[in-house]
Each structure stands twice: as C-alpha cells, then as structure tokens.
Structure 1
Amino acid sequence: MDPQHGGSANSSTSSSSESVRPLPSIDISPPPRLRPHQQASADSPSLNSLKSVDSVPVTGIYPLGSLRINEPTDNEDVDMDLATPLTVPDTTPERTMDKNLELLKGGDVLLLDDLPSSFTVGCDTISFSTTQQFLGFRDIPPGAHLIWVAPSESTSSRSGYWITTPTKEETSPGKVYVKQWDKFNEVLSDPASQAEERFQRERLGEIFANLAPYQFKASTSAVSPPSRSGNAEPLPPFVNNTTIWHQLTSSIQSHLLNRVLGGNEETWPVNTTDRIVGETTMPEEARLYPSAAAQFQFSFPMDQRLFDTTAEGSERTQQALDPTTWTLARTDDGKTLLGEIQFAFLTGMHLGNYSCLQQWWYYLVHIVFRSYRLAIERPELALDLVQTFHAQLVYNDRYLEGDIMESMPGEARRLQKALTVYKSRLNEQLLSLGDRCTAEQNAVGQAFSALESWLWRFGWDLRGEYVRSGKVMLEDGEMVEAELSDFESEDERGEFAAVVVDVDENGRPTDLVSV
C-alpha cells in the first residue's frame, strides 16, 4: 500500500517477525530557532509587526518612547546572538564629563526636555515664541533668574522655575539644570526619573550648539517694546538696560526662596495658580484649578497688625502711624523685606499670579511708604527700597505688556496717597537735620525726587498741596461745604489717635455732661 495512503513502511518484513511490531518513531528534536537574520514563516508574526505600536501592549505612567536603555558601564560579558555586533563609541564617561565641563565655563545651563513647539518661553528680561522644539538656555550668568513657559502668548496659565547662580571663579564650571514639560498636568516639572535627568546631562555636548545664549535676542522677542512714555528723560544709571535685572533681583537669594516657597532645593517651581498660605479660594476657582496649592509664605502677612500688641499709650500710637520699629524687628538686615518685594513683583507680573501682586501692593502702601523714620535710621535700606520700586516701574513700562497701575486702579490710588504723605514726611525730617544730614540720608531724598519725576507721566502730583475742607463746586454750579477724608490720618484722626480732653483739678473730664 502506498505509504501516503496510510500503509506501513515495514509491511514487506512482517512474515519473518510477525510477533514483534516496531514502535512508532517520535521526533524529539528541538524546534528550529528563529534567528534575527532568518525569514519568518507566514504563520508567525513578522519582525516588522513586533515593532508596531498596535501589537505592543504598554502599561505605566510614561508614554511609549520616553524611556531609554542605558549601556552598561562595567566590563560585563553580554551574550547577544546578533548577526551584526554592536559598535561601542570610542568615548568614556570621564572624557564626556571633561568635555561638558569645558562647555560650562561660560555659565550655567538649563535644559527643557519634551517642550512642544509653538510655545512662549521667557527668561528674565526676554520672552519669545518658538517655531520648533526649544532645548534651553546656556551661559546663564550669576544671580537670580526666572524661566517660564506657556502654551501660547494668550494662555492665562504659566509655569516656571526660579534658579540662583552663585558667583564663581573664572575657572569654575557652571551647573546643568534639567526641566521637563509634563503633558498631563501641563506644567514645567523635574524629570520623571534620575536616569532621564542623567541622560539629558550626558547629551549636553550634542545639543550645546543649539541652546540659546542667555543674551539671546529673538526676532519675535518682546524685548524692549516701544515705551509708552514717548520722549522720556534719560534714566538713572541703576535702571539702564544692562543693570536693571540685577536691581530687580539683588536680594533674591536661595535662603529667601527656601523660606517663601518651602523646602531646601536648587530650583523653585512657581505657577500662575499658586496662592499664599491662609488665602481663601473661591469655589469657582477651586473647581477650575483643583491642583492649585497654597505655598507662598511671606514674612509680612497682609492680615497682621503693624505694631507690637504689647505696646501701650503713645508708643502704640506711634507704631501704628509709623511701623518702622515693627518692620526692623521682623527683618535681619532689611534684605528680607527687599527680597520679598522683588520676588512678589516679578512672579506676579511674569506669571500673572494675583496673590503675589496683592502682596506687592500691600508692601508698598502699608509698609515701605509708611515707615517714615526708615530714611533716617536705616538710609541704606530706604535707598534700596525707593530705587527698587523705581526700577520696577521702569521695567513695567519698557519690558512688560500692560500697565500695573491701570490694571489695579484702586490700589494705585491708595499708593498715590501714601507717596504724597511720604514725600512730606521725608522733606520734614531731612530739613530738621540741617548740617547733620549724612550723604546716605541725602541720597534717599535724591532717589525719591527721581521717582517723583518718573511718576509725573501718570499725572501724579506728590507735592502735597491739598485742601482738607472747604467749598466745592458741583457740576451744576452749586457750591457746597465738603471735607476730604483722603489724608485724615495726617491730622491724627485715625483709629489709634490719642484723644485730647480737658480735666479738672480732680482729674475728671470737664466736657462730660452730668445730671
């Protein structure tokens, strides 16, 4: 019988050994091994399909392709049965590190990983829109710097980081900071893992030429927009285009950022939705920004009285009218107050953080320009405060879109009143000193005069020539008696003013009516 039709191959020998039947042969050889260079059969998945996204199940919190395989650093024997052996680059970690150190001699580097194209990027005094993936900045000089990003220029939410670069010797290399765009939360954050951060640092030599220098001026940059002031007079030296950022950040140090933002880090995240600790959030805002967390902790809370609660009598009244003593008691050398004013202004203006802007107004209206004796007792600190406020106004006018005075008119009106009183008190104190007025104290008066000249462009007259009571003509021509309450604290009719009464020989008030 044909073996192909079920017949036995040993039927011809069955007569000689009918009692013994051969056992069926069993093939126990291993299946053929599919090597990388062999052709796969039609029934098995092809090599191309194994690389397909659709055929590879992925689990985890990181997107496919974001994880990378690092080569082993030791001399282990790796058993890989490949047709073509791997080629190892002729480099060592030590040589890569030495090359990176050479690149960092120009300053610090900040790398932005996974930042999409068409983003708005800002670094200190510059901001620009990207047309392709932006990799970061290089040659960052010593000082405090604010780097932020936003999906577009019209986006209301921005995310950034403060970094502080210490002054180094000429031979000392800079540092490399790595930040990654979190697509899920839409914020700038630290890298997802230490391996990812190390990978970005090691590829510095490959991308260094594509990093933007710190002095980068893009064609689409918002640097030096047309000034609203028109033909303005020349600026003082401390607010020119070269030194203005240093004037704005001179007291922002790492220890101040650690205290205001918490923690002990090398970089400090800030966002548009950050709030001050203890600040009440509206329910609508809580639903809109569920992840917003209160983190700012300023040294001078807005809900705190500006005097010592244990003080009594005239001392309590004096502290309430002039919080100089209270202010100096809460700051070591004055740098705390100055640094927080600088931080609140820049974070509020660049990121649109409303809490920081409110804190900035509070500092100016209730502390800086109400501490009248500061110009006499601590003229160096008073000079720094006046010049910093002047620099902030110039920066707003020349580098930022929008006017902080127009955006918050109620606060601007209160500030104008505070400055009017401050000018009057400052002139009185300096004139009373006469020949005893020091150069530092006189410098405060000159700095305030320069500030007063700048404020004329807002139509602010700080000469203090105002009438507290008198006749006022209404729109229809009628004359009425009126009394202005704008400066009622100046004639000691405030909340903490002492009440003067006449008493008789027994110490009893004589103006009381008795029956």
Structure 2
Amino acid sequence: MDADAALELVKHGTTLLLLDVPQYTLIGVDTQMFSVGPSFKGIKMIPPGPHFVYYSSSSRDGKEFSPIIGFFVDTCPSEVIVRRWDQQEERLVKVSEEEEERYCQAVKSLEFDRQLGPYNLSQNGDWKQLSNYISKSIIVRFEPIGGEISVACEPGMVNNIPKMVMEKTLDDQLEISKFSTSVNKNVNSRRCYYTSIPRFIKQKGLQGQELTSLNLDKTQLLETLLIKDYGGSEDVLLGELQFAFIAFLMGQSLEAFLQWKSLVSLLFGCTKAPFHTRTRLFTKFIRVIYYQLKYGLQKDSRDTSGAVSGASALLDDSWLSADSFLYRLCKDFFSLMHDASSVDGHLLSWTRKLQELLENNLGWEFKPNSVVDGMHFEEDDEFAPVVEMCDDPSYN
C-alpha cells in the first residue's frame, strides 16, 4: 500500500473500540490476532469493507482460553465500532446508542489514539483474497441471530456427526474448556443460515443407472441450487464459500467447516459444468480455494507489530493428509481436467496453480506424471486437452 493510501486510512479508516477487555484476552481482526495488554483499547486504521472480528477470553494467568467467538462486520469510512466486555458473560456486547455516540466523538478527538493498535495494512492483501465475494448482503444472509459465531453454539452438531481428527480437536476444545459463557444459551437460534446442500440426489421416477449418473456428476444439482437457493448468482455461492471458510479458520466453527466441505464437495463433484455450462464459475472457484489453502497452510507467525497471524493450526496434518476428502476430490478433478478434450485456458491455469500448491506444501502426489502446459499427464502430448483462451476480464 502506498503512502497516500496509508494516510487516507489514518484519516478515514474504521476504529474498533474495545472497552474493559481483560489482559491476555486474544482479539483477532481478519488475519491478525492480538494479545490484550494493560493499555489495549482496540484497533484503528481498519480499511472499510467486510471484516471478521473474533476473540477468546483467557484465564487470569493467560494459560487457558475459551472457545472463540466471532462476528462479521461491514464497515464504512471513519466508522467507530464500540463493544464493551461483559465480565459475567465473558464476551463483547454492544453499548447503548448514547454511549456509542459519546465514545465515537472521543475516538475522533484522538482521546484513545495511544491505546489503539494499528491494523497491519501489509496483511490486507491476504484478507481481500479471502473475502472478495463477501459483502454486507452476504453477511446478513448467512450470519446467525445476534451475529455471534462459535463452536460453543454447536454441541448438538458436535455430538451427532462422525468425527475426523480435525472435528475431534474442536470437540475436545469445547469439552475441556473451563469457561461457561452465555453464548451456550439458546444455541438453536445462534446457528448460521447456510444453504442446505444434499449429499445425495433423490428424484422421483429415476432408478438404477440414471440415479447413479446424477450422483456421479453433480452438475444438475449445482444448477438447481444456483437457481433455487442463490437466485442465479454464482457470486453468492462463492460468498458463502468464503464466509464458511473464514468462520471455520478464524472462528474455529465446526458448522462452518462442514458447510465449506459440502460446498467444495459439490463443486468438485461436477464433471460437465466446468467445461460446458459453468466454466467461469469454476475458474473463480478454483481461484478462491487456491487462496484459501495458500493462506491456511501458512504457519502461525508474529509480525513486527506484535500481532499474531490468525491462521489456525487446525489447517495442517489433522485434515490435509493424503487420505483426506480434499485429496480425493482434487485427485479426481485433476484427472477430469486431463481427460477433457478441451479446457478453458484460465481454468487450466488456476488448476495448475492449485495442484502445484498442494504438491509443494503438502507433498501430495497426483498421477499421471508427465507435464503438458503445466498440467501432469502420463499419455503422449497428442492426448492432452486443447487449451481454449477466453478474453474475459472477470477471470483476472
């Protein structure tokens, strides 16, 4: 970010004012997490737009932490968001309109300026890649009543699903927590409004091979959902995919992980749509998941401002092993690309980037082994797909 843009954010950036937050509490905004010190009163210079705020209350010695609570906001230039720590409920709550106005004026008069940590603008590029399809309407559409997202709201879900390693980790976090917060109350009203994605297609009048074909290729299911649930908007679907990933990775929500997994399985389960009806959607989808995994596979780190990276350690060997659902889906998709008679150039390029990311970062191997135009093929070049380039700025 250049000097002029940085100066603009100093003047017109959003301020998140957090009052009475106990020391050692972890406070996160987007990809950045802060450990609260004795003078901490919030974060300033937050760029306008969508953001995810999340936090975890601490024991007095700072050694134990409660399950994370998070919420999305869509901010405007020079906006001040005020939250106060409720000691009894151990969570951030809104203040009255009168209080909020008083604190807004105090912030604008720079009364809290020395107690506000700066948003690390160098990390804003990563956040934009993770949230470019999230808007105010996306947040309103999928957020739960009250806006708070937490695994503490999902005990019924945790107890009723088969558990892979990552899911057990979240379950254990909830079980061993010694904190009791009000977020556990009325949990049924605090679930996100995610789109229902059927695992299997059932259709009257169809049996045997026809029904099997529908389930092997989920193109028809994708088309039905796009029309019925997304109003024909591909970007709303991608917005939900990003919403769920952020709620999972930063907010450690199991419900969000399962929704992200369902959406990824749906899209990777289509064999016709990537080449015929929804090439543009799949190019954007592969780009979205590429940046999600690229960020999620980074190790936690501490930057020069003292903020801790918001990447969760959950996104590692616990669910990205070679026998995971994602490996199988990617392997089948890469094979599908190989077998296609022609492939859009933009789709091929992003698929290649995704494959290289998984191979380099996780050591995954995808056969076939020879390389044609950046993709791996075992047959001779004459059997490789024809690359078709479309001059469409929306791919960029």
TM superposition score normalised by structure 2: 0.71
The answer to whether the 8 Å contact 2:41/2:112 transfers is: no
- Partner residue of 1:449 out of 328, 352, 365: 352
Query: Is 1:352 aligned to 2:258, yes or no?
Result: no
- Partner residue of 2:287 out of 369, 373, 387: 387
What is the count of residue pairs matched by the alignment? 319
The answer to whether the 8 Å contact 1:164/1:253 transfers is: yes
SS at match of 1:195: helix
Matching residue of 1:155: 65
- Partner residue of 1:417 out of 296, 317, 328: 328
Residues 390 and 308 of structure 1: is their aligned pair in 2 closer, same or farther, counting only changes over 3 Å? same
> Aligned equivalents of 1:353 and 1:299: distance in 2?
16
Q: For 1:33-432, list aligned pairs within 5 A.
A: 105-152=11-58, 154-165=64-75, 173-191=77-95, 193-204=96-107, 205-210=109-114, 211-215=116-120, 243-262=125-144, 268-275=147-154, 279=157, 281=159, 290-291=184-185, 293-294=187-188, 295-301=191-197, 304-307=198-201, 309-310=203-204, 312=206, 315-331=210-226, 332-364=232-264, 366-376=265-275, 377-398=277-298, 399=309, 400-408=311-319, 413-429=324-340, 432=341
Write the deviation string for residues 275-298 of structure 1: whole angstroms up to 9, x where unpaired: 39x846579979977426131121
The answer to whether the 8 Å contact 1:116/1:133 transfers is: no
> Aligned equivalents of 1:464 and 1:185: distance in 2?
55
The answer to whether the 8 Å contact 1:308/1:326 transfers is: no
Deviation at 1:361, TM superposition (A): 2.5
Deviation at 1:262, TM superposition (A): 4.3
Deviation at 1:138, TM superposition (A): 2.3
The answer to whether the 8 Å contact 1:116/1:134 transfers is: no
> Aligned equivalents of 1:396 and 1:370: distance in 2?
23
> Aligned equivalents of 1:147 and 1:401: distance in 2?
15
Write the deviation string for residues 199-226 of structure 1: whole angstroms up to 9, x where unpaired: 2223221435222232279xxxxxxxxx
Residues 164 and 411 of structure 1: is their aligned pair in 2 closer, same or farther, counting only changes over 3 Å? farther
Unpaired runs of 5+ residues, structure 1, are: 1-101, 167-172, 218-240, 466-515
Residues 179 and 310 of structure 1: is their aligned pair in 2 closer, same or farther, counting only changes over 3 Å? farther
TM superposition score normalised by structure 1: 0.55
Residue identity opposite 1:402 in structure 2: A
SS at match of 1:128: strand
Deviation at 1:383, TM superposition (A): 1.5
Deviation at 1:343, TM superposition (A): 1.6
The answer to whether the 8 Å contact 2:158/2:254 transfers is: no
Write the deviation string for residues 294-332 of structure 1: whole angstroms up to 9, x where unpaired: 31121134xx24435246255533321111221132122
> Aligned equivalents of 1:460 and 1:127: distance in 2?
30
SS at match of 1:407: coil
> Aligned equivalents of 1:272 and 1:420: distance in 2?
31
Write the deviation string for residues 17-41 of structure 1: whole angstroms up to 9, x where unpaired: xxxxxxxxxxxxxxxxxxxxxxxxx
Unpaired runs of 5+ residues, structure 2, are: 1-7, 161-170, 227-231, 299-308, 370-396
> Aligned equivalents of 1:254 and 1:327: distance in 2?
24
Deviation at 1:129, TM superposition (A): 1.5
> Aligned equivalents of 1:136 and 1:412: distance in 2?
42
> Aligned equivalents of 2:321 and 2:362: distance in 1?
14
> Aligned equivalents of 1:127 and 1:133: distance in 2?
16
Deviation at 1:423, TM superposition (A): 0.9
Residues 137 and 128 of structure 1: is their aligned pair in 2 closer, same or farther, counting only changes over 3 Å? closer
Deviation at 1:147, TM superposition (A): 1.6
Residue identity opposite 1:134 in structure 2: F
- Once the two structures are aligned, what percentage of the paired residues are identical? 24
Residue identity opposite 1:106 in structure 2: H
Deviation at 1:245, TM superposition (A): 1.2
The answer to whether the 8 Å contact 1:115/1:133 transfers is: no
- Give the root-mean-square deviation of aligned CA atoms: 3.2
Residues 146 and 103 of structure 1: is their aligned pair in 2 closer, same or farther, counting only changes over 3 Å? closer
> Aligned equivalents of 2:150 and 2:358: distance in 1?
31
Residue identity opposite 2:193 in structure 1: Q
Moved over 4 A (4+): 102-105, 280-290, 409-412
SS at match of 2:152: coil
Residue identity opposite 2:364 in structure 1: W
Which structure is larger by alpha-carbon Rg, 1 or 2?
1
The answer to whether the 8 Å contact 1:345/1:357 transfers is: yes
The answer to whether the 8 Å contact 1:160/1:188 transfers is: no
Residues 105 and 328 of structure 1: is their aligned pair in 2 closer, same or farther, counting only changes over 3 Å? farther
Does 1 or 2 have the higher relative contact order (CA < 8 Å, sep 6+)? 2
SS at match of 1:307: coil
Residue identity opposite 2:150 in structure 1: N
The answer to whether the 8 Å contact 1:189/1:269 transfers is: no
Residue identity opposite 1:317 in structure 2: T
